[in-house]
Amino acid sequence: MSGNYAEAKSQTKNRLNARYGIKIEAIEKRRLVELAGLRKLHREAEMEADKLRQQRERDRELGRELTEQRIREWKKTRRKEPRIGDKRLRPDFEKAAQPDPSKEERLGSAIARLRQRSRRQRSRDRDRGHER
Ranges of residues in the chain with a pLDDT under 70 are 81-108, 110, 119-132
Cβ–Cβ < 8 Å for 82, 88 = yes
CA distances from 131 to 11, 122, 123, 127 (A): 102, 19, 18, 7
Q: What is the pLDDT of residue 117?
A: 72
Q: What is the pLDDT of residue 125?
A: 56
Distance in angstroms (rounded) separating the CA atoms of residues 3 and 5: 5
